[in-house]
Structure 1
Amino acid sequence: MHAHGGERVRARSLGVVVGALPTGPLNAITDVPGVLVGHTTVDDGADLRTGVTAIVPPGLDGGGLPAAVHTGNGYGKLVGSTQVDELGVLESPVVLTATLSVFRAADAVLTYLMGRRPDGVSFNPLVGETNDGFLSDIRRRPITERHVLDALEGATGGLPAEGCVGAGTGTTALGFKAGIGTSSRRVAAGGTEVTVGALAQANFGGVLTVRGVPVPVEEVVPGSRRPEPPGNSCMIVVATDAPLDARRLGRLARRAVFAMGRVGASYAQGSGDYAIAFSTAPPGGPAVPDAALDPLFAAVMDAVEEALLNSLFMATTTTGFAGRTAHAVPYDRRSQVTPFGRPCR
């Protein structure tokens, strides 16, 4: 069962502020105009803790969006990534789920795309995954076409749900229960103000580090043991309305994977760490020049770091498959300075 332990809050509500750049109004990937997020959660209260998260950009029906994928470590199943690499174009929503359900999810996205483009003869679903097998019976492959279509068709603007929801229902990271997290930044680039948003499905190993302060699970949760396997993969989606081509978006995607190191990622050999970046800017305009990308790099690094922290801070203690438990990060909501009993930098 879930042990909720009271209301969970985002990083900023604990006084954990990442960087000096301002956030968008919602501090979420949906601050990028037109970007929608939908979740389907599969939770039977026992052995199934899994789901689907869909990130739906605007403009896909007009021939796709400039996009890039960066593979930090390729121990994963990111369906459709090679065509994005080859053409620099995103043709579908980005769907996230569990490892052994990724192939059924990709077929469901194909159903979605065929329904929107009845004359199409080729489609490239982009579907990623992390392994939630510590808390969910992954071999049952419970994700159905209806689950995926519900996430896609129910995607909305507004602040997405975070923590134990959708594709983050059964994930763990850095020794704790994790899930879905999101954040955004506003920044001047190429002579105009733009938004950079990030959404992460966190499920990787290492020691949680909050603004430079290590928070080992075995020290802050008495009697706990680090989940085995200690998380294995991270999917990061970066959206921006900055005018960028695929090559420059690849540079942003690399920084997204770099940002995992800020929160203590171990980058283990068995961790599939991927970032997908796309631009919603109208086609035909000049791209932000390389010499002006530094503010966007900073925005990506900060937004991803905060998204990852939100994925942990919003998650609740969960007991799932085979009675295994992943503990939520403990914090004192009353403290705005030292929520973990230790000073943050």
Structure 2
Amino acid sequence: MSESTNSANDIQRPSFDVYEAYQHALLDEEISPPLAAILALTQLMENSTAGTMFELVKALNDGAEVLKAKSSNPISLNAGCELFIAFVTLFPHDSVSFADLKTKLIRQGQQYAKEALSYRRKIAELAVGFIKDGSVILTHSYSRVVMQTLLLAHERKRISVFVTEARPRGLGIKTAEALTAAGIPSTVILDSAVAYVMEKVDFVLVGSEAVVESGGLINAVGSNQMAIIAKAANKPFYALAESYKFHRLFPLSQYDLPNHNSRIFSFPRLKSSVSPRAKRTPDELSVAPTTITQEEISQNNPDVDYTRPDLISLVFSDVGSLTPEGVSQYLVGMFAG
């Protein structure tokens, strides 16, 4: 009787909500989606009743699928999940029991997330060496590592920054406000004015959602066109990326990105009962004018885009300054154990 009661209690016991843990981690503004995913999977491991490595890895993969399904843009968090699961799978150990191994893995996951918060400072120190006194920089949207780099550069050199508005979310305004508050001269420009301003800048500096296996970059939409224009103007295009954003993904075009769906760039159905080919009178055309909202525009457009590796000058990371080819080599080594 006692055994059956305990079994029933185990079945009824509320399961761990990995997505809730992920969202809670993101409440810390210093935690980016890949790190939040690693922290959430570490907590999942703590709460797991897995008795073997096979069961534990399956639980982690299931948790990663939950995070992916509930996120509108899973690319960045996928990189964190992929890195953590590879770490667990390849972790060398001489543990006497699975429980001991599990404790070590949990401790290592927590320690990695803690240490990873220092990566932005390492990247900033590296990137500042490439910034000359008096530089005029163009950046895009909002990036924690870009902000840290610009603030550090401002402490040591004179810089000024053009920031794209970064529609539809307008995060470039957040960047410009933070720069202005720190005393850095900055100007917000329209996304459509990138080509206009390019001849005034010394280089482009952007953050990243992920750096993929080809050495290409996934970042806030608009990054690709900036890179194309920078290449045409012979201006360096630098990307900043923590190594936990390196992702084993190999897109060949914008439409290979995991977050692409049929909603993006779709054409709305005509609400009028009049045939599209039928001739309309001026009175018919003036009836019921169409109103397009910013929300509708946002829903019909991508959040991120893909920049080819040949458009990127260097990727600054906590593991060094890498060419796009160097990123590919590093990724192969990272997941080869």
Q: Whose relative contact order is higher, 1 or 2, with alpha carbons under 8 Å and at least 6 apart? A: 1
* Structure with the largest fraction of helix: 2
TM-score (ref. length: structure 1): 0.23
* Structure with the largest fraction of strand: 1
